[in-house]
Chain A
Amino acid sequence: MSSTLTDLSMLELAAKLATREVSSVEATRASLQRIAQVDPKVRAFLRVDEPGALKAAEASDARRHAGSPASALDGVPVGLKDIFLTEGLETTCGSRILEGFVPPYDATVVRLLKEAGLPLVGKLNMDEFAMGSSNESSAYFPTHNPWDLTRTPGGSSGGSAAAVAAREVFGALGTDTGGSIRQPAAFTNTVGLKPTYGRVSRYGVIAFASSLDQPGPMARTVGDTAALFQLIARHDPRDSTSADVATPDCLTGLEDGVRGLKLGVPREYFTAGMDPEVEGTLRASLEEFERMGATLVDVSLPHTKYALATYYLLASSEASSNLARYDGIRYGQRAKDARGLKELYTQTRGQGFGAEVKRRIMLGTYALSAGYYDAYYLRAQKVRTLIREDFTRAFQQVDALVSPTSPVPAFKLGDKVDDPLSMYLMDVYTLPCNLAGLPGLSVPCGFTQAGLPVGLQILGRPFDEARLLRIARAFEREHDFFRRAVPV
């Protein structure tokens, strides 16, 4: 029972919970059992909150019993990237510097999920402070890709993607600053949605780059992703960058297909360096969209080539400031034998942060320094505007853009650890969307011959998530890649 139970999609499980065919406690126990069974190999979880999840499941069952579920997904167990603050439950953001930090409050999205009745099974591994594309910069351990344990699940929401792919949870929340939801989704045959900047509250989400960060849902199907998205897409007065727009209805038109839609294919996204199998899979997917009645339009996003440099300047600048609060004074780790204030700072931060985090703090500090600000930060902001305008122009011609999510499938753990630049290049198709604040989604579009998942990225206009989900669903309906059994 339990092994098949964990294979259900969130919506399938929700239907069984609604008819009381399955209880939330059963589903949560199945999830916990699956974690016990496969997580020693996958290592998606930093910590599992069994008592908390079961307590929430019992409460959910009581609501279902009383005929008053809190939401459509009441009782469906999910996981959280360890970047979301959970009251009373340790939150480390994949960093040593926050080891032992128990937050005094819940992130807004955590509160929303709790209010919607979803048992929160535990906290998922990630690259330290979400800086990385492979989960290898986690201060604790790397997570393994359930499709090939020698490979990375991607990053930084690699733990979330791996846990969803390995059927350890039915869905999860991740965050996406430059592709951190979409790239791991592509690497693990899962669906990941990075909402429009401002759509989902950042309150209680540990900041990496404030103007780029956006929480979003990760699940095995497009429908699940849409359902989870609707629970968290709420205006939040605690986040001044939260958009005061109504929660969209993404489920009603989900099956409407792509007939008559114009899909732009950005020529700058099909460049040298793309894995031939990825390109082949993508080209086939594009033809399929045409067969389903969409029109493909060749479009140009001419400033794409500057996106990587722009992103690393802006994201690192913001990060250098956002991470200043980890000083050992008020919470988290503090160096033991430091003498004097300066030593306390240098030792705490020297010991507490990993190499990649330090690299980005230094890069950002440099870019903001007197004498360099104009040449780096300010210029990057100007280029960001140009990149945004590229998209605005493109969306005058087309309804959405389609591209590969990542130029390559999941790579071997250890392969790029010593080559930060090639690691940064992983994000080349995903990060322009963050710079422009647009919604983006990755949906499974096939497998390589070696059995590695390939993802298709769909980018849309601001607040047009419903259309992205509809396009993704049209594709998913033809394939059901999510039914494919994961080898782990």
Chain B
Amino acid sequence: MPLSDFQTVIGLEVHAQLLTQSKIFCGCSTAFGAEPNHHTCPVCLGMPGVLPVLNERVVEYAVRTGLALGCTVKPTSVWSRKNYFYPDLPKGYQITQYDQPICEWGELVIDTPSGEKTVRVRRIHLEEDAGKSVHDASASAGQSLVDLNRAGVPLMEIVSEPDLRDADEAVEYLKALRDVLVYLGVNDGNLEEGSFRCDANVSVMPKGSTTYGQRCELKNLNSFRFLKQAIEYEAARQVDVLESGGKVDQETRLWDVNKGITRSMRSKEDAHDYRYFPEPDLQPLLVSDALRDSQAKVLPELPRAKRTRFMGEYGLPAYDARILTAERPLADFFEACAAHAPDAKKLSNLFLGEFSRLLKDEGTPLSALRFTPAQMGELLATVEKGTVSANAAKDVLGEMFRTGRAPADIIAEKGLAQVSDVGAVEAVVDDILAKNAGEVEKYKAGKKSVYGFFVGQVMKAMKGKGNPGLVNELLKKKLGD
């Protein structure tokens, strides 16, 4: 059977670092980029005698996420120890949640070419991160170094059901999930720095089958592109194995960025026996109604709902709405501007075009903008009235962006206002037609392509400030069209 006769089946396990100030079981900072082992204390170093004390903010964030994904938030969940030896795991076990996670059974709706699709979320659980082993040149020969700054950083693992059917769906799910977490303020969505990580469980089965094939777990997928490439490579690899009469082994495979392949990291036989058992140093985790309610109250409008509303309320196309709602601050700013703008679509055009470019080029966060939504509204109103051209408006926006000055002042100072006076424009049009009588003859004889020449000449004579609508109107009238 060819590849096209097989169905890919994908489930994702996402590890999201929670945006807390301090670690999950001690008071150390979670800040990124400190000197190695700077953010450590006896607790996260796994010193003898230390005990974990749960950071309550971590629970709030998990509950908030669970509610946003429509999960059942468990009133009681249990901490477990996952036992294994590794130098960057200070206690020799990771405190995590195993058979009784904090949230179960939610869902996330994504867009696919064939319409909306609901992906089931099986569970959300909390755990501590491990440290980092460094095997690079900073270590002397034969040595590895351990940095425990990350040890004890709070992670939330979100596990989907194997409901995804191709790499694009997987990417779509991951993006949608990231948008939700960033909206909730619980994660920064940064794949490259590893604060939002994803493993993919991939299997293939003949189309029409209801029995899943043997799955492999893919790791090291630290961008959306790698996720797509790795899934596509892996699905094709598994089909090859099956087609050549082999069978897929359950294993963990690593995405090799340079070679663009997945390679075996650990087979099932090598798999650890983690000897999970309930963590005796922590009481079961109780989520009170009060905590649940407090998180339900702070739940923001989520990206998808906001997108739908933007399409309805502002009459925007899906494309615009999606981009405008991808990040909450941008969406909020758009809405603030829309309250002052005469036309939401034109506002959206400016947001998607010049405004996005400025944000990117200048590296300015929205929180540091120098101009107000009302000024953005004024700018669009001047375009609407014909005071400035859409092109000139871009320059005005740039100036507003850099100086925060009012659009009217900028237009006046730079002389960007268009000439919309009929008499003034008519005088120029008459002059140009008179000077180019030969071309006028040709036009009237049917050579319509000369029209652009007249427009160019008029605009040139007016230094680009002629109101284009008026110029066209008068030219056509004079040429007898």
Contact B273 A325 (CB under 8 A): no
A321 partner, pick from B49, B83, B282, beta carbons under 8 A: B83
Contact B92 A206 (CB under 8 A): no
The answer to whether B352 has its CB under 8 Å from any CB of chain A is: no
Contact A207 B49 (CB under 8 A): yes
Contact A240-B51, Cβ < 8 Å, known A324-B83, A329-B87:
yes
- Give the dominant DSSP class at B's interface: loop
Contact A318 B280 (CB under 8 A): yes
Contact A240 B283 (CB under 8 A): yes
The answer to whether B329 has its CB under 8 Å from any CB of chain A is: no
Contact A241 B283 (CB under 8 A): yes
A238 partner, pick from B53, B275, B282, beta carbons under 8 A: B53
Contact A325-B92, Cβ < 8 Å, known A104-B42, A210-B280:
yes
Cβ contacts A194-219/B at 8 Å (1 or 0 each): 00000000111111011100000000
The answer to whether B47 has its CB under 8 Å from any CB of chain A is: yes
Please, which residues of chain A bring their CB within 8 A of the CB of B212?
none
Please, which residues of chain B bring their CB within 8 A of the CB of A2?
none
Contact B48 A93 (CB under 8 A): yes
The answer to whether B236 has its CB under 8 Å from any CB of chain A is: no
The answer to whether B81 has its CB under 8 Å from any CB of chain A is: yes
Interface residues of A in 306-343 (CB under 8 A from B): 317-318, 320-321, 323-325, 327, 329-331, 341
A211 partner, pick from B52, B81, B87, B280, beta carbons under 8 A: B280
The answer to whether A239 has its CB under 8 Å from any CB of chain B is: yes
Contact B277 A317 (CB under 8 A): yes
Contact B47 A105 (CB under 8 A): yes
The answer to whether B386 has its CB under 8 Å from any CB of chain A is: no
CB distance from B44 to the nearest CB of A (A): 11
Q: Which of A159-167, A250-258, A367-375 is near enough to bind chain B? A: A367-375
Contact B277 A324 (CB under 8 A): no
Interface size class of B (residues with CB under 8 A): 20 to 34
Please, which residues of chain B bring their CB within 8 A of the CB of A202?
49, 51
A237 to B55 alpha-carbon distance, docked (Å): 12
The answer to whether B176 has its CB under 8 Å from any CB of chain A is: no
The answer to whether A429 has its CB under 8 Å from any CB of chain B is: no
Contact B85 A85 (CB under 8 A): no
The answer to whether B91 has its CB under 8 Å from any CB of chain A is: yes
Cβ contacts A98-135/B at 8 Å (1 or 0 each): 10010111010000000000000000000000000000
The answer to whether B5 has its CB under 8 Å from any CB of chain A is: no
Interface residues of B in 410-434 (CB under 8 A from A): none
Contact A330 B90 (CB under 8 A): yes
Contact A345-B85, Cβ < 8 Å, known A105-B47, A324-B93, A325-B90:
yes
Contact B51 A203 (CB under 8 A): yes
Contact A341-B275, Cβ < 8 Å, known A204-B49, A205-B49, A321-B81:
no
The answer to whether B392 has its CB under 8 Å from any CB of chain A is: no
Please, which residues of chain A bring their CB within 8 A of the CB of B87?
327, 329, 341
Contact A91 B48 (CB under 8 A): yes
The answer to whether B249 has its CB under 8 Å from any CB of chain A is: no
Contact B92 A327 (CB under 8 A): yes
Contact B54 A240 (CB under 8 A): yes
Contact A104 B275 (CB under 8 A): no
Please, which residues of chain A bring their CB within 8 A of the CB of B45?
330
CB distance from A246 to the nearest CB of B (A): 20
CB distance from B399 to the nearest CB of A (A): 56
Contact A325-B275, Cβ < 8 Å, known A210-B280, A240-B54:
no
B52 partner, pick from A101, A240, A368, A370, beta carbons under 8 A: A240
Cβ contacts A233-248/B at 8 Å (1 or 0 each): 0000111110000000
Contact B281 A368 (CB under 8 A): no
B281 partner, pick from A241, A320, A331, beta carbons under 8 A: A241
Please, which residues of chain A bring their CB within 8 A of the CB of B300?
none
Contact B277 A368 (CB under 8 A): yes
* Listed residue (B47, B48, B53, B282) with the most chain A CB atoms within 10 angstroms of its CB: B48
Contact A321-B51, Cβ < 8 Å, known A240-B282, A368-B277, A373-B277:
no
Please, which residues of chain B bring their CB within 8 A of the CB of A107?
49
Interface residues of A in 360-385 (CB under 8 A from B): 365, 368-370, 373, 377
Q: Which residues of B come within 8 Å of A, CB atoms?
A: 42, 45-54, 81, 83, 85, 87, 90-93, 146, 273, 275-277, 280-283
Query: Nearest 3 A-B pairs (CB), nearest first?
Result: A324-B92, A368-B275, A210-B280
Known: A240-B52, A240-B282, A324-B85. 18 other contacts (CB 8 A): A84-B49, A98-B48, A104-B42, A107-B49, A206-B48, A207-B49, A240-B54, A241-B282, A318-B277, A320-B83, A324-B92, A324-B93, A330-B47, A330-B146, A345-B85, A368-B83, A369-B275, A370-B273
Can you list 10 A-B pairs with a CB-CB distance of less than 8 A?
A: A84-B49, A85-B47, A103-B49, A205-B49, A206-B48, A207-B281, A240-B281, A241-B280, A331-B47, A368-B275
